[in-house]
């Protein structure tokens, strides 16, 4: 394993991923429905192809878990695996509201070592490597800045982010019961990235999601000084046999985390 080489290769293909996704995004495209009733477009498949082919070219022995590729369950026997969502927020892509992402993470012993969350429509991405901090990279202006979670301590002052296309009754109850005044609907992994860069403070979800939905954003949030656990304060792990996460997630700055846990348990 050469993490720096892996990171450099992913950085090199980001412009290609963005160009190919935007080419489809800017025209009319076909929408197909998968067996799990979720939508898929040509952009999901092209992005998946670029990422998978690149990994296989440079790291032929590496195992990969991707939303758009048949799962090879042998991956659970390996210490290391790539976890990829080639187009997170396909519903946002279809609605053309720009809030979709490409999530690429690399996991060792069930923990993410690095992660990229790329936003093609905005021409920027978030990136983190374990113990090296989290960063926002503006490709348009060729700028990079380190990001940190907020220091907000009180829930009544906190900004909550909720799902744009997957809102639940639970989220409505949270807003009502906690008397949250500042809440914003955001698509894809942008919710967690917004907590990482300090422009939002927490996100709670009780509906199931998959490992590839949050793995890359998870390391970014951790390296920015945030926290991500399930509803009983258990760390989320990756490269499991069952990739669905059904125990809920809490993403927040570290200060708010215990307060949110207590309120949920009450």
- Give the model's pLDDT for residue 36: 87
Residue 266 pLDDT grade (very low, low, confident, very high; cuts 50, 70, 90): confident
What is the three-class DSSP state of 38? coil
Q: Does 58 have pLDDT greater than 70? A: yes
Residues 157-215 have pLDDT tens digits of 999 998 866 667 787 787 787 778 888 889 889 999 999 999 999 999 988 999 999 99
| Tokens (6 digits) for 25 | 């995004």
Strand partners, 238: none
Q: How far apart are the first and last CA of the chain?
A: 45
- Determine contact, residues 231/248, Cβ cutoff 8 Å: yes
Q: Is 159:151 a contact under the CB 8 Å cutoff?
A: no
CATH architecture of 3-147: 2-Layer Sandwich (3.30)
List, by residue range, all CATH 3.40.190.80 domains of the chain: 155-265
Q: Where does 155-265 sit in CATH, by number?
A: 3.40.190.80
Q: Kindly provide the b/e burial profile for residues 239-256, where b requires at least 16 CB atoms within 10 angstroms of the residue's own CB.
A: beeebebeebbbbbbebb
| Residue with the larger pLDDT of the pair 188 and 252 | 252
| pTM score, whole prediction | 0.96
Question: Which residue ranges does the chain devote to CATH 3.30.540.10?
Answer: 3-147
Residue 165 pLDDT = 63
Are 36 and 69 a contacting pair, CB within 8 Å?
Answer: no
CA distance 71 to 53: 16
pLDDT for the residue numbered 59: 97
How far, in whole angstroms, is CA 46 from its chain's centroid? 19
CA separation for the pair 29, 41 (Å, rounded): 7
CA dist 72 and 64 (Å) reads: 8
């Amino acid at each position: 394993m050469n993490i720096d080489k892996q990171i450099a290769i992913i950085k090199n293909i980001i412009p290609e991923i963005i160009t190919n996704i935007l080419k489809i995004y800017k025209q009319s495209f076909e929408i197909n429905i998968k067996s799990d009733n979720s939508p898929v477009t040509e952009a999901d498949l092209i992005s998946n192809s670029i990422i998978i082919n690149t990994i296989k070219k440079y790291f032929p022995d590496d195992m990969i878990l991707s939303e758009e590729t048949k799962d090879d369950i042998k991956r659970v026997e390996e210490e290391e695996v790539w976890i990829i969502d080639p187009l997170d927020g396909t519903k946002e892509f279809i609605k053309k509201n720009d809030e979709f992402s490409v999530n690429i993470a690399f996991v060792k012993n069930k923990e993410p070592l690095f992660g990229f969350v790329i936003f093609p429509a905005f021409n920027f991405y978030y990136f983190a490597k374990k113990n090296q901090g989290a960063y926002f990279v503006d490709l348009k202006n060729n700028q990079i800045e380190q990001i940190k979670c907020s220091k907000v301590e009180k829930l009544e002052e906190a900004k909550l982010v909720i799902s744009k296309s997957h809102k639940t009754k639970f989220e409505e109850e949270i807003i009502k019961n906690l008397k949250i005044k500042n809440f914003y609907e955001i698509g894809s992994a942008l919710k967690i990235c917004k907590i990482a860069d300090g422009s939002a403070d927490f996100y709670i979800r009780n509906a199931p999601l998959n490992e590839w939905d949050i793995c890359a954003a998870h390391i970014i949030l951790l390296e920015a000084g945030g926290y991500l656990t399930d509803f009983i304060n258990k760390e989320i792990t990756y490269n499991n046999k069952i990739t669905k996460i059904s125990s809920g997630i809490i993403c927040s700055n570290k200060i708010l985390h215990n307060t949110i846990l207590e309120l949920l348990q009450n």
